Amino acid sequence: MSPKKIIIIIVLILLLIGTGAGVRYHFFREPSPDPDSAGYPDAQPDSPVLVTQADPFNGKVFKDSEDISEEEAEEGLEDQVITSTFISDLAELIFGHYHPGDSPGRGGYLTLSFKELNMHYATDLTGLRYEEREVLKAREEIFGQLLQPSVIDLLVRSYGPELFQELVHLAETRTRDVRGQQGWEERLLTREETVEMLGLFAERLEQLSIVFVETVEHDGVLEWVGDYLDTVEELNSVYFEYWQIEDESEEYRRDQLADRIKELITRRENIRTLVVEEVAGTEILEAGQDVVYEAQWIYRRIELGGFSRESIMSLADAAGKLADMARQKSKEISGE
């Protein structure tokens, strides 16, 4: 195969894997490999979550309807899974993705999405304690310990105030390169900009909460997402076979594959439209939320990871509560 064709195949595969991102990013770092993107090998859905002596829940893995008491959760989470490093790192991530307006009357914007958040912690798992050495298994270990209603609620109550306090601290002490009318300048955020940052983060959390609720409450969505992932996988395979054909005698097969590619692209986009229309309103789409990616993440947790819909609904509730905390913090700063 010629070098030119090899390059074309690689580019096409990368484009297919990345298709559907749809989120507008500005000034963001090169992302780490994303375990929840199409094309990344999934962990086996039936594989056990291996827990060691460091497990705060004494070797128990909670999934589906099983849950733990608040007392067990408090005892287990205390300096075990979540560390202060995680909170400070998350605050840094939010702070770094806020960009103040560059002219009077022009508001700032927040580029942090759920996808970017997931990609950020895909390989580093910064500030989280775990025993598994393999990244995918470590993620499953952490999910097995934390992704359950009582634990999620405790996390919000325990670490939410600390997160926003750290975020405000950064705004008050960390200088930023900010573009203004006179060019770039290094300065602290103003009080108004800090309030705006908190408000934008609250909006993003509320939008994410809506997508999570709508994805779980409408039974057809998860089935569509499964079909979407199957379609993307087949499309990758057909594209690869298409570009492998060099012999002119196989031109008929090449035409067949070309027709199949068109069919699969149409099917993929039709499914995407169904998902988007079901889970997102105009405001969410205009904000750049990658709702298809978020729905995929939920699909993998429920259909492949074995977690309950109640856990996902608890995450939606947690996002709403964090949004309320962010707005309350902004009121404190503005003196309302």
- Give tens-digit pLDDT for 101-145: 877 677 899 999 999 999 988 878 999 998 988 988 999 999 998
Domain residues for the domain of 185 are 24-334
pLDDT band, very low/low/confident/very high, at 40 (cuts 50, 70, 90): very low
Name the phi and psi angles at 99, rounded to 5. -130, 110
CA nearest neighbour of 78 among 60, 57, 61: 57
Residue 14 is assigned to a structural domain of this protein: no
Residue 37 lies in a domain: yes
Q: What does pLDDT average to over the chain?
A: 80
Pick the closest to residue 254 from 272, 240, 274 (CA basis).
240
Is the entire prediction scored with pTM above 0.95? Answer: no
23-32, 234-243, 246-255: range with lowest mean pLDDT: 23-32
Output the CA–CA distances (angstroms, integers) from residue 207 to 53, 68, 113, 279, 296, in the order listed: 38, 28, 11, 10, 16
pLDDT tier for residue 43 given thresholds of 50, 70 and 90: very low
Q: What is the pLDDT of residues 302-315, one digit of tens each?
A: 999 999 999 999 99
Predicted pLDDT at 58: 36
Q: What is the DSSP string of 2-33?
A: -HHHHHHHHHHHHHHHHTT------S-PPPPP
Please check whether residue 254 lies inside any domain of the structure.
yes
- What percentage of the chain carries pLDDT values higher than 90? 55
Q: Average of pLDDT values for 21-36?
A: 34
Angle at 223 between CA 217 and CA 224, to 5 degrees: 100
Answer whether residue 11 is part of any domain.
Answer: no
209 is a domain residue: yes
Cβ burial, residue 149 (10 Å; 0-12/13-18/19+): buried
Distance CA 40, CA 151 (A): 28
Residue 115 forms part of a structural domain: yes
Q: Report residue 70's pLDDT band, with 50, 70 and 90 as the boundaries.
A: low
pLDDT at residue 36, as a whole number: 57
Q: Does any domain span residue 8? A: no
Task: Examine the pLDDT at 184 and tell me if it is beyond 50.
Answer: yes
Q: Residue 224: is its pLDDT beyond 70?
A: yes
How many other C-beta atoms lie within 10 A of the C-beta of residue 32? 14
Count of structural domains, the chain: 1
Residue 56 lies in a domain: yes
pLDDT for residue 75: 54
E strands along the chain, which residues?
Answer: 98-99, 109-110, 176-180, 183-187
Calpha distance 273→77 (Å, rounded): 40
Query: pLDDT value at position 86?
Result: 94
> Residue 204 in 3-state DSSP?
helix
- What is the pLDDT at residue 241? 94
Higher pLDDT among residues 26 and 73, named by residue? 73
- Note whether 229 and 296 are within 8 A (CB): yes
Q: Residue 91 contacts by C-beta under 8 Å, 6 or more apart in sequence?
A: 163, 166, 167, 169, 170
